[in-house]
Amino acid sequence: MSFLRFAARRLAEMAATLFGASFVIFGAMYLAPGNPASFLLSGRSASPEALKAINAQYHLDDPFVLQYLRWTGQILHGDFGRSITYRTDVSRLLADRLPSTLLLVGMALVLVVALGLLLGWIGAVRGGAADSTILVSTTFALGTPSFVAAVLLQGLFAVKLGWFPTGGTGDGLGQMIWHLTLPAVALALYLIGMLARVTRAAMLEVLGQEHVTVARSRGVSDHKVIRRHVFRNALGTVLTTGGLIVSTLLVCTVLVESAFSVGGIGQLLELSTTTKDFPTVQAISLIMVGLFMTVNLVVDLLHPLVDPRVTLGPRRSAA
Amino acid sequence: MTATLLRRPGLARIRTTRAPLQRLCLGFVALVVLAALLAPWLAPYDPNAVDLGNALAGPSADHLLGVDASGRDTLSRLLTGARTSLLGPLGVVAFSTLAGVAVGVAAAWRGGWLDSVLSRSTELVFAFPGMLLAILIVSVYGEGLLAPVIALAIAYLPYVSRLTRSLVLAERRRPYVEAYQVQGHSGLQICLRHVVPGIAPVVLAQSTVNFGYALIDLAGLSFLGLGVPALTPDWGRMVFDGQSAIQHGYPLSAILPCAAIVLTVVAFNVVGERWADQVARRDR
């Protein structure tokens, strides 16, 4: 299969899954007890104007399939409807809040990739005490939920030592980075442990293969063997965790942004869930699923470039 | 001779030093489960008894682990909180294991259209991280423990069903299956009597690891106020309550539930992973 056909096939598969996911997100409101209009307005005065607005947004009088198609059509035009709590367009709310979340996720991603690969590398190559230390600390990192890390980091570095602000987002890039440092560490901790484990295991597997022994016996320097022959080969396996890393980062922003009161879409998702602002919940869920699937697609397309041994067959999902 | 050669000294040392860790973790799991079961008798106070005059007091003879910002006894809340904190993940794991095994066995045994339909829906569920699915369901049904447990069970199901499917596919090729078929046993009988018991250790080891992750997700939802009802003691909720105490300079009532969550998850992970390793070694 040529690369282009492979890419087209994966793109079509992603479109199909995204279609299914959006169907689930839209259909969820029909699972609610009572009729959708009263669910969407739950706890609020059902004034004739409010009912009319909800009807106009979801076309609740139309058949279900038509409602769904209209809703997706609007979203494809960038219209996510109106927030019931904030009484503004959801797309405006998102545009205000998306930058801080993307910066936070980006900072955490840098930490995860840099420290995860480094620790995995050291663990696999050094062995001994360094490896044991890394194994024990990654075991604890894997058992620490992001909100626990957030609360503890906040208590130590913001309240007790006062090195960082206790919360908020800050204005300007420098301030934002300073405000988002602790949240990013809290967000990254678990995934650093995971990536270090995956990298370590993948490198150890390659280290035991014959081509490494051959390269060593031919007098290639140790560093070069590790870098060119072991790490390069392990990178393909490591890359397949990319989708999982990004989706975990995105979802955990709900917890970390709430703990540090960062005004991003994670906090917005928490607020709109507690206030039953369903249009906003739908929009954020869709964006998170969409971003996750985009990353998965990019990883799938990059994989054959990083590791030419990968066959361009139908998707064999990572277990 | 070969056996001694195969057991390199380095590996042997790791194994002997790791076995106590496994036992330690198993012991901790037993301790937490026991605490949860006996909580009503062990807890020295009513976990919801508010005593504002005594708020944020440190450890004392009366309150061994201090009290929280509302003057509630932390030890009693930890013990009682163990019940909801363990019951939720238990529900998630029980449901996702039973349904996942059923789906995985059906997909592997039948194959064909059933297999492709099931793997398509698996792809779909994989697109939703468990936490997001749970939040979506909570936003529809409102807070409570049942809705997030069902949502997480659905989110965890594909992990079990995919594992089961690959195990059953491997198991099907083994000669004993054909032997039973020749003897006229039905497919269902072979699956229930022989295949499922055969793959059970691997699946259960995976479910033990899943228990830890489910505990993390459910505690996170309680932290957000989307899980258990507000007054029910729960470790995740205690971390949330403790956050304001930390900001007033009294970290103890937050650190204790944090430690409870981390240690329990680590214990379940270690036990599950070691179990999976042992099963894998035995199969080889």
pLDDT digits (tens, 9 = 90+) for A219-235: 788 788 888 888 888 88
Give the integer Cα–Cα distance in Å for B119 and B158: 9
CB contact under 8 A, A288 and B225: no
For A41-55, A72-86, B157-171, which range has the lowest pLDDT when averaged over its residues?
Answer: A41-55
How does pLDDT run across B248-262, given as a tens digit for each residue?
A: 777 888 888 899 999
Q: Which residues, in sequence order, are bridge partners of residue B67?
A: B73
CB contact under 8 A, A288 and B132: yes
CB contact under 8 A, A254 and B131: yes
Give the integer Cα–Cα distance in Å for A150 and B258: 11
DSSP structure class, residue A59:
-
DSSP structure class, residue A82:
B
CB contact under 8 A, A159 and B246: yes
Instruction: Please give the residue of chain B at the shortest CA–CA distance from A167.
Output: B247
Length of chain A: 319
Chain B nearest CA to A120, separation (Å): 18
Give the integer Cα–Cα distance in Å for A240 and A252: 20
Query: Who has greater pLDDT, A288 or A86?
Result: A288
Q: Which of B202, B262, B271 is best to mutate for the A interface (most A CBs within 10 A)? A: B262
Contact B224, A270 (CB under 8 A): yes
For A250-259, B25-34, B188-197, which range has the lowest pLDDT when averaged over its residues?
Answer: B188-197
For A24-38, A114-128, A172-186, A278-292, which range has the lowest pLDDT when averaged over its residues?
Answer: A24-38
CB contact under 8 A, B219 and A21: no
CB contact under 8 A, A319 and B162: yes
Whole-prediction pTM value? 0.86
Give me the mean pLDDT over the A272-297 stretch.
87
How does pLDDT run across B10-68, given as a tens digit for each residue?
A: 444 444 445 787 888 888 999 989 988 887 887 777 777 777 767 667 777 676 777 77
Chain B nearest CA to A159, separation (Å): 6
Q: What share of chain A is helix, strand, coil (3-state, %, to 5)?
A: 75, 0, 25
Q: How far is CA B213 from the centre of its chain?
A: 6
Alpha carbon distances (Å) from A46 to A37, A67, A251: 9, 21, 32
Give the integer Cα–Cα distance in Å for A261 and A230: 43
Whole-complex ipTM: 0.85
CB contact under 8 A, B132 and A20: no
Chain A nearest CA to B262, separation (Å): 5
A-B Cβ pairs (cutoff 8 Å, strict): 135
CB contact under 8 A, A159 and B249: yes
* Residues of chain A contacting residue B137, judged by C-beta atoms under 8 Å apart: 28, 31
pLDDT at A188: 93
- Scanning A254-293 for CB atoms below 8 A from B yields 254-255, 258-259, 269-270, 272-274, 276, 278, 281, 285, 288-289, 292-293
Q: Which residues, in sequence order, are bridge partners of residue A82?
A: A89
Give the integer Cα–Cα distance in Å for A140 and B266: 6
DSSP structure class, residue A46:
-
Contact B82, B39 (CB under 8 A): yes
Domains annotated on chain B, with CATH? 66-283 (1.10.3720.10)
Alpha carbon distances (Å) from A1 to A4, A9, A310, A312, A318: 8, 10, 12, 6, 20
Alpha helices in A143-277, H assignment, sequence order:
146-153, 172-207, 210-217, 222-224, 232-239, 242-259, 265-274
A91-306 under CATH 1.10.1370.40, yes or no:
no
State the SS3 of chain B.
CHHHHHCCHHHHHHHHHHHHHHHHHHHHHHHHHHHHHHHHHHCCCCCCCCCHHHCCCCCCCCCCCCECCCCCEHHHHHHHHHHHHHHHHHHHHHHHHHHHHHHHHHHHHHCHHHHHHHHHHHHHHHCCCHHHHHHHHHHHHCCCCHHHHHHHHHHHHHHHHHHHHHHHHHHHCCHHHHHHHHCCCCHHHHHHHHHHHHHHHHHHHHHHHHHHHHHHHHHHHHHCCCCCCCCCCCHHHHHHHHHHHHHCCCCHHHHHHHHHHHHHHHHHHHHHHHHHHHHHHHHC
Tell me the domain boundaries of chain A: 3-76, 91-306
Give the integer Cα–Cα distance in Å for A217 and B72: 67
DSSP structure class, residue A315:
-
Q: Is B135 exposed, middle or buried (0-12, 13-18, 19+ CB in 10 A)?
A: buried
Give me the mean pLDDT over the A110-116 stretch.
94
Residue among B254, B261, B269 whose CB faces A145 most closely: B261
For A282-296, B35-49, B168-182, which range has the lowest pLDDT when averaged over its residues?
Answer: B35-49
